[in-house]
Amino acid sequence: MNDRLPKNRALYYGGRWVESKAQKSIPVIAPATGESLGNVIDASADDVDHAVKAARGAFHAWRDTPAQERAKAVRRAAQILVANADELAWLEALDTGNPFQAMRFDDRLTYELHIEPIVGDCLVPVFLLQPIIENAVIHGLDAGQASITVRIDATATSRGVELTVQNNGSEVGSRSGGARGHGLGIATTRARLSTAYGQLASLELLPRENGGAVVRIVIPRTQRSRIEREANHTLALVGSS
């Protein structure tokens, strides 16, 4: 992960990178994992004064630039942001602890999480639902809707724990979100379930009653200590202790 983080941590103003006058930094910790993301510059009052002075100096040049040239510059900036949207969303998700897809699609995506307290300390393989949730988001938006909702449920059943991921976007078998589109994520998850649980686990891809798709996974209900979870690459549905 560290290879993807920005290498330059200096301040940027006046069209160049500038080292802090105070030579101080602040550690940044990923809220979701507690992992260190390195340090960022702690700008001093002197740094702020220099940045404001640079902005004031640039204002006169910008004011005198023809409107068409200014429009080109703004469009170019927008193109750069769009071209790097995934990378910027990933960095923002790391820094804030918010889900990547929520940062990537902003108000086009809402999600709901419903976990029964009785299964909150049950274990699931790490990242088991990641490809399923990504499919729910991507194929849902591919259906042409302005926005979608992804809902995740975890409930207790006679067979163990039932995990469901559903969206209100494309239907199973539709051109944009059919079984073929979901294939890689479904196949990968099925393979992981088979390796971890054998015949005790199952996965179904079903149409949602009011449009959209539902993935239903059933796994055995297991509870272990924190040390055992880390050794077996599993995580509790709720909490980390």
Block residue for tokens 């015949």: 199
43 shares a domain with 144: no
- Domain count for the chain: 2
- What CATH number should be reported for the domain holding residue 176? 3.30.565.10
Written as one string, the DSSP assignment of 80-133 is HHHHTHHHHHHHHHHHH---HHHHHHGGGEEEEEEE-GGGTT-EEETTSSHHHH
- How high is the pLDDT of residue 176? 41
Q: Both 117 and 73 in a single domain?
A: no
Half-sphere exposure of 27 (CA within 13 A, CB side): 6
Q: How far apart are CA 194 and CA 130, in angstroms?
A: 17
One domain, residues 182 and 105 = yes
Q: What single letter denotes the amino acid at residue 43?
A: A
Which of 91, 116, 143 is the C-terminal boundary of a domain? 91
Judgement on whether residues 120 and 201 belong to the same structural domain of the protein: yes
Going by pLDDT thresholds of 50, 70 and 90, the confidence category of residue 161 is: very high
Q: Report pLDDT for 183.
A: 67
Residue 181 pLDDT class (50, 70, 90 cuts): very low
User: Is 241 domain-assigned?
Assistant: no
Asked if residue 157 and residue 40 are part of one domain, the reply reads: no
CA 217 centroid distance within chain:
21
Within this chain, do residues 64 and 154 fall inside the same structural domain, yes or no? no
Q: Check whether 69 has a pLDDT greater than 90.
A: no
* Average pLDDT for the chain: 80
Exposed e or buried b per residue across 120-142, where buried means at least 16 C-beta atoms within 10 angstroms of its C-beta: eebbbbeebbebbbebbbbbbbb
| 70-92 CB burial, b ≥16 within 10 A, e <16 | eeeeeeeeeeeeeeeeeeebbbe
Which range marks the domain in which residue 75 is found? 2-91
Tell me if 203 sits within 8 A of 162, measured CB to CB: no
| 143 found inside a domain | yes
Report d(CA 217, CA 232) in Å as an integer: 20
Residues 54 and 106 in one domain: no
Whether residues 131 and 159 fall in one domain = yes
Q: Assess whether 77 and 108 both reside in one domain.
A: no
From 20, 60, 64, select the one nearest 40 (Cα to Cα).
Answer: 20
User: At residue 141, does pLDDT exceed 80?
Assistant: no
Q: Are residues 109 and 208 in the same domain?
A: yes
Boundary (domain end) residue, out of 91, 113, 128 = 91
Among residues 68, 91, 114, which one ends one of the domains? Answer: 91
230: pLDDT strictly greater than 80: no
Tell whether 147 is covered by a domain. yes
- Whether residues 76 and 107 share a domain: the answer is no
Q: How many CB atoms lie within 10 A of CB 25?
A: 13
Q: Minimal CA–CA distance to 120: which of 228, 221, 229?
A: 221
Read off the pLDDT band of 24 (50, 70, 90).
Answer: confident
Q: Are residues 118 and 183 in the same domain?
A: yes
